[in-house]
A and B are shown apart, each in its own frame.
Chain A
Amino acid sequence: MAAASQRRSTALVVFSTGFILLWLILAAFPFLWTLWGSFKVQGDFFSRADWMNAITGPLTTEQTGGPFTGEGYWGAWVESGFWRNVVNTGIVVVCTVVISLTLGTLGGYALARSGFRYAFWLLMIALVFRAMPHITLVSGYLLPFFQWNLWGHLPTTIIVLVAINQPFTLWMLHSFFLNIPKDLDESAMVDGCTRFQAFRLVIIPVMWPGVITTGLFSFLLAYNDFAVTAMLLSSENQTMIPRIASFLGSVQQEGNVMFAVAAVVSATAPLFVLILFFQRQIVSGLTAGAVKG
């Protein structure tokens, strides 16, 4: 069904396919390499002699009796207690996503349905807030949080992440609600619903695609955050990412870099699964802001 304008010369097809293959290798190879290498011993993953050792693993066979070893994972998860950080990450991420979506749907709906000038200004302010580097905000929190004994706890971090998430959530849900026809909730109000009832009974049942997409990005923001979680959590409440960063310092001296490698692979795995299942939503979310705004 290729239209005439889509037909290409062979040379061009070869060139563009080659280019895409090159890009795919650049994009995926580092992760596959690290995944494979995480089942080797350090002498193979960082091999002075020959990088092929990381693939075949002669030292791994010599030291552990098999070409693959789970030592890095055992060391990270059990010996270093990485499982506790995984649990913390779970708590932080789930709470952040749920709370920010609740606040965001209410706010986004209001912004999409209000025709007044101040709605536009609120969106502009949200845009400016989105541009604030997170670490500048953190330097504003630290001293008051120390004074009020709020520092170091999970709920503090959750509420901070929710707030940092809000500008983005508002923008995204605002553009999704603009796509839901106004007539829908207005006819409900003609039938005697209040604005909130119209929102609850008419809008909530049809808003899920937009909410799920926005939720994915809230998840990524909370999961990938380093600046806030590294500065606001005490060491026993740390989430995965700051823990991996602090691994680096201690682990390199002890010669246990493989613990960090295993932790890095463990933290990447959920993201991999996320793309696998939600690729369509991620793509539509990335473009929603662009095409409509």
Chain B
Amino acid sequence: MPHRTFIWFILPSLAAMILFIALPIVSVVVQSLYVEHEQVLVTVENCGPFGCTEETRVDRDATAELREAQPLGRFNGLGTYFNRAHLATAEIAEAWATSDSLGAFWDRVMNLPFYRALVFTLAYTFIVTPLVVILGLAIALGVNALPRIFRGVTIFFSLLPMIVTPLIGSLVLFWMIDAEGVIGATLQILFDDPDLSLKASPALTWITLFIYGVWSSAPFAFIVYYAGLQTVPEETLEAAMIDGASRWERIRYVVIPHLAPLTVFIMLIQFMDNFRVFEPIVGFQAQASATSLSYIIYSDLRGDVQQFGSAAATSVLTIIGVAILLTPVLIRTWRDFNRKRA
């Protein structure tokens, strides 16, 4: 296809992506270099019968005017990145110098909002993703062994946790694990502890969120693996049997290698989706015990005073995180592409 025709075909789609994905990234970078204006202070002298006093107060009109004139705020350079709400370099250095053990240092780092969110996001990404792959493969192997007439129904119900809106899925579970909901009440009876609450302890909240993550993404891995299982070559399986391979050996040496490229695909999609974990935290109202990078951006933008600078700085750091996560994939794809061309 000649370059000219190509341009005309791709132009609308490309324009949409440049305007609403590429430019916002630029906008985020610019915004992160600015902070909100400080309030304009004026000093007025009040003279009364007992002499004069000086009083400093906020000039509301002037503040509003300044904010109107320069909506971005004042230039702050990289200041926002290193303040307490983000990379907190000063606090980290201080904690490192004064903490006597690694544990104490860790506790202090975990009190910083950005690191708290980062640790949860990474833990979520790297714990949920492998579990999704394993559970998805197990379900796919199980469904593949079912008689054909049951498979359609099984797939129908399996799709539900994945298709349903994340916020709704997490709300449905949230109501069930409520101390007065069915799962919460059952757990209290099982552990014989009337005060047991999944919402109260941070550790239990993290586990609840992980379980939600696996529950909602496993169907995706299942469907992809299930489709892959339909194309496992029958001849190879039979040859392996004739060679005396047991059932487990056949799965280990024939089926799993056949599914390996699918695993790469599932992991890639899951890393991308889990890194932006956000809705479950809103749905489970877990912000007291667990925040993610996306969540702290959201809460910066939602507060009474919208902190655009702070949200933008976190956004830039998140985008850098995504880039680091994707680099191996991109390098690998680039090599494959060159090998195909060569």
Residues of A bordering B, CB below 8 Å: 3-5, 8, 12-13, 16-17, 19-20, 23-24, 26-28, 30-31, 33-34, 45-48, 51, 54, 102-104, 106-107, 109-111, 113-116, 119-120, 122, 124, 126-144, 146-147, 159-160, 162-164, 166-167, 169-170, 195-196, 199, 220, 223-224, 226-227, 231, 241, 244-245, 248, 257, 260-261, 264, 267-268, 271-272, 274-276, 279, 282-283, 286-287, 289-291, 293
Contact = CB atoms under 8 A, between A and B. Distances in A.
Contact of B155 (A46, A147, A199, A279): A279
A212 to B, nearest CB: 16
B227 A287 contact: yes
22 contacts: A5-B240, A16-B145, A17-B142, A47-B180, A103-B12, A106-B9, A109-B9, A110-B1, A111-B10, A128-B326, A134-B276, A137-B28, A140-B27, A141-B24, A166-B21, A169-B13, A195-B9, A272-B160, A276-B156, A279-B152, A286-B223, A287-B227
Given A226-B282, A282-B223, 6 more contacts: A27-B160, A102-B12, A106-B13, A133-B297, A137-B21, A160-B20
B76 interface: no
B201 interface: no
Given A28-B157, A140-B27, A107 B9 contact: yes
Q: SS class of chain B's interface: helix, strand, loop or mixed?
A: helix
Contact of A283 (B155, B178, B181): B155
Interface in B143-157: 143, 145-146, 152, 154-157
Interface residues of B, number: 109
B332 to A, nearest CB: 11
Contacts of A54: 182
Contacts of B272: 130-131
B27 A164 contact: no
Contacts of A131: 272, 275, 322, 325-326
A104 B16 CA distance: 11
Contacts of B12: 102-103, 106-107
B308 A46 contact: no
B286 interface: no
B337 interface: yes
Q: SS class of chain A's interface: helix, strand, loop or mixed?
A: helix
Interface stretch (B39-47, B48-56, B91-99, B164-172): B164-172
B278 A135 contact: yes
Interface string B294-335: 100110111000101001101100110011011001100110
Nearest to A26: B215
A29 B319 CA distance: 37
